Amino acid sequence: MTDVLFLTSEETAGLASPADYVTAVRDGYRQRGAGAPAEPRTKLFHADPGGLLTTYSAVLPETGAMGGYMYSAGFGSGDAWFVTPLFDADSGEPVALLDGAHMNPFKTGAAGAVAVDELARQDATTLAVIGTGPQARGQLHATATVRDFETVRVFSPTTSNREAFAAEFDDELAASVTAVDSSAAAVEGADVVITATTASDPVFDGSLLEPGTHVTAMGQYHPKKRELDVETIERATYVPDLRDRATYDAGSFLAALEAGAIAEDHVHAELGEVVAGEAPGRTSDDEITVFDSGGTGIETVAAAAMLYERAVEEGLGSTISFAPASEALTGRRS
């Protein structure tokens, strides 16, 4: 039998800051850029009751960890459940099982922050955030650790949501955070734009992007849904989290491809290739860049491994036991 540490969301909640997540996730993407295995998510849809079951995984050899996510969303409960198994990359043995709900916006936000650090101008001071849900919060928390923003403009179609979001972050951040009444008002003049929505159609007009803008889009991973319009993709140096996602479930990229605005070679590089120095990031101050984030096992394993190590140091979690196949299948113990 193998002892495995089980960690609840409550136990992982205080173990890492947004900056800690960014550091761990950056190293995960560096390993991916050097050849670490990772695959796009698989998605299984159910019609009645409507729901989604999805998985993705990665191996981070230098971290010594592998694993990923399996989660359900929708179905009868109308909720989501995130399960994160973590394995030792050398022995193959399971070491931890995490309730991944709490870390979800932080590790995804960290991936966006790594992209901002690699692709946005160093002198970026104005940030637009479209969306005010947990993922938008995670993106803002993390991205604020890699640039010294002076102004943050927030838009959500629901007035009360954007005003509450702006008031909260105006108290937390050094930047001035204000709510605006349209996505255009948020995007115009912004150095960095983050979209974190559940929208199926583009949430701003790509013609509004000024030269030198960076865009992080992370709200959709469906071939028929997109947060960014064709013009944004066409104008931009396009960097996905995983290259294979571009023609699999990156709806914004696929729409531009179907419109004939781009070809498949419009993919500049994976984020990991940029982090690892295998491909250039931004090459000029006038370049428009896009990071298309659909979520991967890279940030999941990197974050889970960090949380596991810290939980062990602090004596958190409870132990459950797993039987190796050599025992479970034969009934014999070694």
Residue 171's pLDDT band, with cuts at 50, 70 and 90, is very high
The Cβ of residue 258 has, within 10 Å, a number of other Cβ atoms equal to: 11
CATH code of residue 34: 3.30.1780.10
Looking at residue 43, its pLDDT comes to 86
For residue 222, with 0-12 CB atoms within 10 Å meaning exposed, 13-18 middle and 19 or more buried, which class applies? middle
Handedness of CA 57, 105, 250, 215 (dihedral sign): negative
Looking at residue 333, its pLDDT comes to 65
C-alpha distance from residue 211 to each of 60, 192, 234, 288 (Å): 36, 11, 13, 6
The DSSP code for 207 is G
What would the pLDDT profile of 83-92 be if each residue is shown by its tens digit? 999 999 999 9
CATH code of residue 205: 3.40.50.720
Looking at residue 13, its pLDDT comes to 95
Is the same domain home to 287 and 302?
no
Beta pairing class for 2-7 and 318-322: antiparallel
- Is 334 inside any structural domain? no
Is the same domain home to 276 and 132?
yes
What would the pLDDT profile of 305-334 be if each residue is shown by its tens digit? 999 999 999 999 999 999 888 887 776 665
Is the same domain home to 259 and 322?
no
Is the same domain home to 76 and 142?
no
Looking at residue 87, its pLDDT comes to 98
Is the same domain home to 73 and 174?
no
Residue 225's pLDDT band, with cuts at 50, 70 and 90, is confident
What would the pLDDT profile of 99-144 be if each residue is shown by its tens digit? 999 999 999 999 999 999 999 999 999 999 999 999 999 999 999 9
- Is 197 inside any structural domain? yes
The whole-number average pLDDT for the span 179-184 is 98
Cβ atoms of 245 and 221 within 8 Å: the answer is yes
Closest by Cα among 249, 205, 198 to 230: 205
Residues sharing a CB contact under 8 Å with residue 35, sequence separation 6 or more, in sequence order: none
Is the same domain home to 243 and 117?
yes
- Is 333 inside any structural domain? no
Is the same domain home to 29 and 130?
no
Is the same domain home to 20 and 163?
no
Domains in the chain: how many in total?
2
Closest by Cα among 228, 232, 251, 201 to 43: 251
- CA 312 – CA 94 distance, rounded (Å): 15
Is the same domain home to 176 and 220?
yes
The DSSP code for 267 is B
Whole-model pTM: value is 0.94
What would the pLDDT profile of 10-66 be if each residue is shown by its tens digit? 999 999 999 999 999 999 999 999 999 999 989 898 999 999 899 999 999 999 999
Is the same domain home to 166 and 286?
yes
What would the pLDDT profile of 252-295 be if each residue is shown by its tens digit? 999 999 999 999 999 999 999 999 999 999 999 999 999 999 88
- Is 17 inside any structural domain? yes
Range(s) of the domain holding residue 272: 112-292
Is the same domain home to 177 and 255?
yes
- CA 242 – CA 145 distance, rounded (Å): 24
The DSSP code for 210 is P
Looking at residue 334, its pLDDT comes to 56
Residue 224's pLDDT band, with cuts at 50, 70 and 90, is confident
Is the same domain home to 280 and 312?
no
- Is 191 inside any structural domain? yes
CA atoms within 13 A on the CB side of 310: 17
- Is 169 inside any structural domain? yes
Element (H, E) at 296: none
Enumerate the H helices of the chain as residue ranges. 9-12, 18-33, 104-119, 134-143, 159-172, 183-187, 230-235, 251-258, 271-275, 297-314, 325-328
- Is 218 inside any structural domain? yes
